[in-house]
Amino acid sequence: MRIPSRQTYRQWIRYEMIFCLGMVLGALIFLLFYGKELDRLHLQLKALENENQHYINLNKKHEEQNKSNSPRKLTVENIEIHLEEPKPDDKFIELELQKRIGQEMKFIEGKSLESVNDLHLLIRQHFKERTYRLGDRTVKVELRTITIYQTVHLYLFAKIEQPTP
């Protein structure tokens, strides 16, 4: 068996390094595309979970209404949360904010319109200088408009505050 020369040895090392660099670059490109798709699917999953929970609650309300045969008064059936422009850049923050506010305002559902109309100042006060901690970010929420009927519409302005060093 013959001993390879220095020149041949250097060429083989160069080819091996190029091969390893190509593997690393290929893996990074794969992770980049796979990560974007995974983020999109995760966001879609969160939105579908929120929508599913909304429909489950709506179904329960309709079943309760069908069971009771008393004359119906107008009541608040659901709450819709709208974020005004400029919306937060991150869709995850937007979905989590809508979910938290929806849970906080759950006490309005099922109440008569007269009682909710009397509570409108309380709702406005609830969102005055309201901040939420979502992950490592702080979001300040301000109520701009509220529309009260069987569906309560909350029009909110959300601003992500910059962390102070």
Domain boundary among 72, 99, 114: 72
Q: Please give the residue range of the domain that contains residue 8.
A: 1-72
116: nearest Cα among 78, 66, 84, 144: 78
Average pLDDT for 77-90: 84
pTM, 2 dp:
0.61
CB 81 within 8 A of CB 154: yes
Residues with Cβ within 8 Å of residue 93, at least 6 apart in sequence: 134, 135, 137, 139, 158, 160
pLDDT at 5 over 80: no
Question: How many distinct structural domains can be found in the chain?
Answer: 2
Average pLDDT for 96-122: 87
| Segment holding 59, helix H or strand E | helix 6-67
Q: Do residues 87 and 39 both lie within one domain?
A: no
Angle between the 91-104 and 6-67 helix axes, to the nearest 10 degrees?
Answer: 20
Higher pLDDT, 138 or 10: 138
Render 106-151 in DSSP notation, one character per residue: GGGTT-BHHHHHHTHHHHHHHTTTEEEEETTEEEEEEEEEEE-SSE
Average pLDDT for 17-37: 93
Query: Which pLDDT band, with edges at 50, 70 and 90, does 21 fall under?
Result: very high
Q: What is the pLDDT of residues 30-78, one digit of tens each?
A: 999 998 899 899 999 999 999 999 899 889 888 887 777 666 678 888 8
For 105, which DSSP code?
G
Q: Do residues 48 and 90 both lie within one domain?
A: no
3-state per-residue secondary structure call for 80-98: EEEECCCCCCCHHHHHHHH
Q: Do residues 108 and 155 both lie within one domain?
A: yes
Q: Do residues 25 and 62 both lie within one domain?
A: yes
Which pLDDT score, from 0 to 100, does residue 42 have?
Answer: 92
Cβ neighbour number for residue 90 with a 10 Å cutoff: 16
